[in-house]
Structures are given as structure tokens and as C-alpha cells.
Structure 1
Amino acid sequence: MISPRFFVDRSLGRVQVPRLLRDRGWDVITLAEHYGVPGDESILDVEWLELAGSRGWPVLMKDERIRYRKAEVEALSRFHVRAFCLTQGNLNAQAMAECYILHGAAIWREATRDGPALYAVSRTQVRALPLV
């Protein structure tokens, strides 16, 4: 299966996680690669979510609490973004990449579906979260 192109949020870092994913065949673009450094640090979440949605790029991130922020949830819905959030915030780069890689087939499958969606990704599962 060919990887969809994923947009990697700054919460996962600029270098290590993207490199580890690419090494395993993932097609990723980071905030820093798209907006440049230090421009990537000042882009609002709603702005890059719009970009990801307009390009059809599913999103990889670490901020599961996004589902409680009204503006970001509206952006996910409005721009039909499919987002995959790690549930543990204290993982190192290797562990973060491993969570995504472990569930790669499920993530890639869900990433290619239509419509907005938010998924929690942990070491044991990928589960859909309601867009509250």
C-alpha cells in the first residue's frame, strides 16, 4: 500500500519523528518544511488545519485535547481534516514514531476515507474520537 501524504504538527518535532516515519515508508511533510523556520512556530492551528484539509493531507499530532478547543474542532470539520493524535504526551521521538508505525495499516486506511475525523493513537489501539 502506498502511504498517503501526512502533515506533521510541530508537537511531534521537526526532525526525528518525521525521519523515523520516512524510514518506514511514510510520506510526510512537516510544518517547518512547509512554512519554514521559524515561521512554523507562529502559524495558528486553524491555519495549518485549513492547509492540510485543502491539500487532503491527514494530520499526525500529539495534542489529543484539540477536541476540546472550539476553533480547532470547527477547522477539522469545516476543512474535512482526518487527524491522528497520540494519547501519551511524554513519549520520546522513537516511541512516538513507533506508535504510528505499529498501527500504520489502520491509520493509512482511515486516512484515505472521506470526511473529518479525529483518532486517538496509543501503543495498543487506534480509536475514533467524537468531534465534540
Structure 2
Amino acid sequence: MLDHNASLRPKTGAADDERVIKLAVLAVGGQGGGVLADWITDVAERNGYVAQSTSVAGVAQRTGATIYYVEMARDTGRLPVFALSPSQGDVDILIAAELMEAGRAIIRGFVTPDRTTLIT
């Protein structure tokens, strides 16, 4: 049987119940990145996951690019330790609102070919 989630699993050997899924949304102010991150967090929580969403606002004119970061893990009764922002080489899914943001994410090391699913 085909496992549709296999490409989203990091190759760390962690058990599925303990694995933290790390998702980043890169968008410029007004593109709906915060709304998308809220939706993803809500869907995760409604489906048996503990989730946390944070954002790091850009500092350029009109807020610049903002990174919305979501971490989620199956609710096992134990609270996982979540990070507040993405780390290089440690992002499972990256969603970029435009091509330039995808390029910046690649340059910053958030996208790795053996781990990250990039959606632009």
C-alpha cells in the first residue's frame, strides 16, 4: 500500500508518535501567511496533534518577509518541546508565497533536498 506521508517523514529514526513535523510559511505582509499558519495549526489540533505557531516579522518596508513557523506532534499525553523559529536543515515542509521567498529560503538553508518538501 502506498504511504502518502512517507516523503514528509524526516530520516531521523524517531518513532512516529514522537516525531515533530516542522513547517515554515514565508510570505510578505498581506499575502495571508498568518492566516494559512493558523489554519494549519487548527487542522493539526483537530486531528490529534499538539501544535504551536509562531512568527518572525521582517524588518523591511511594510514588514518585509515574515516567517510563520508551525511545529506539530501527535498528542501522546506528553507535551513536546517546540522551537520558536526554523533552523537550517531542519524544516520538513516549506511554503513560499512567491518565487523570491522560495529562493531566500533555499539560500538561508531552510530547504534541503533529502528532507524538505518545497511548495511555491
Report the TM range for the smaller structure's normalisation.
0.3 to 0.5
Between Structure 1 and Structure 2, the one with more helix by share is: 1
- Greater C-alpha radius of gyration: 2
- Return the TM-score normalized by structure 2: 0.38
Between Structure 1 and Structure 2, the one with more strand by share is: 2
Where relative contact order (Cα < 8 A, 6+ residues apart) is larger, the structure is: 2
- Return the TM-score normalized by structure 1: 0.36
